Structure 1
Amino acid sequence: MQLAYVKEEVQIPQNVAVHLEGKVLRVKGSKGEITRDFSFAKGIEIRLDGNKVIFEATFLDKRKKALFYSVISHVKNMFRGASEGYVYKLKVLQTHFPMSVKVVKDVVQITNLIGEKNVRKASILEGVKVTVKGDEIVVEGSDLERVAQTAANIEQASKIRGFDKRIFGDGIYITSKGE
């Protein structure tokens, strides 16, 4: 079943400045600036009206309706990221060998994971800050997708293959998301 017309309004927070050029939305707040291109969202009209962002679409089937509400969620995440930011926390678990984790430029280096001689590396995306405090790694930034992807890169780089997971639980694992 198609919906003939859908209109949604999203309130712009007080401490956030929004600029719209075509379908490129730029959000600037105290934690940073996020730019996103929504030109892939065909059939969805985005416009600014005072302190609101208005989304309109016509003749939405199941897929277009999902896309419509996904775009709205992305914009809300941009507002929260620009004003509050996102923080992911990871925990370093080591039982067999003393593992060391350090940040070098835009790469997280993991050494001596289960006694390996090679250095495992995880890339840090632009606009994301990673800090290592003992056995806790804090990943923070204003763009939710970049923060989450950086945390996933770190977790994936420390993944152990070929060993029994019940015995070798060593690695780096995400413990807290987005708060």
Structure 2
Amino acid sequence: MALAVVLREEIPVPEGVEVTIDKEVTVTGPKGELKRKFKSRNVSIRQEDGLVVLETRFPKKKDKAMLGTIKSHISNMIHGLTEGFTYKMKIVHAHFPMTVKAAKDKVTIENFLGERYPRTANIIGTAQVKVQGDEVVITGVNKEDVGQTMANLEQATKIKGKDPRVFQDGIYLVAKE
């Protein structure tokens, strides 16, 4: 007689947040709504009184990894819709003062290392960028959008072909909240 080996993870759903599961997982909270599809045959997602339950039977190594990944994504969706994500970045320049402006879907960096043409970085999804003096604040409900926007800003000011110990100008991540 074989015993069914089941790996089970539970995610508590706080008050004010509603989770709907059909072909995609929809999380609705005080700050909006996020939807995401998860493609995994071996991981089942369902709801039980105030919990989102993830299960896999006879898990292999990849099934365990997928279970953890899906759990993290759903937890991040819930966290984003209740508290949101905030990344703070610092504008650093030694000689040439940079001008950073946030528009609708792009951030423009002018006078970077004295360059004549501005550099741009895309703002992804619903992330919002605010420039306050020498600080850039990126906020949003989707962790992936906020993180990718931050990475785009950092990459736009990456210096190539020069010693990074000497040329330290750029926009760098300082804090995540």
- Report TM bin, short chain: over 0.9
- Note the C-alpha offset of 1:42: 2.0
- Which residue number in structure 2 is paired with residue 7 of structure 1? 8
1:19-168 map, 5 Å? 19-22=20-23, 24-38=24-38, 40-168=39-167
Task: Flag as ranges the 4+ runs of structure 1 deviating above 4 A.
Answer: none
Provide the secondary structure at the position in 1 that maps to 2:62: helix
Structure-2 separation of matches of 1:166 and 1:96: 15
Structure-1 separation of matches of 2:132 and 2:138: 11
- Note the C-alpha offset of 1:154: 0.6
- Amino acid paired to 1:30: P
What is the TM-score of this pair, normalised by structure 1? 0.93
Larger relative strand fraction: 1
Q: Which runs of 5+ in 2 are unaligned?
A: none
Provide the secondary structure at the position in 2 that maps to 1:42: coil
Provide the secondary structure at the position in 1 that maps to 2:19: strand
Structure-2 separation of matches of 1:162 and 1:32: 44
- Note the C-alpha offset of 1:51: 1.3
- Amino acid paired to 2:145: R
Structure-1 separation of matches of 2:34 and 2:153: 23
Q: Deviations over 1:49-77 (max 9, x none)?
A: 23111111111111211111111111111
Over the matched positions of the two proteins, sequence identity in percent amounts to: 43
- Note the C-alpha offset of 1:144: 0.6
Structure-2 separation of matches of 1:126 and 1:145: 9
What is the TM-score of this pair, normalised by structure 2? 0.94
Provide the secondary structure at the position in 2 that maps to 1:161: coil
Structure-2 separation of matches of 1:32 and 1:141: 10
Q: Which runs of 5+ in 1 are unaligned?
A: none
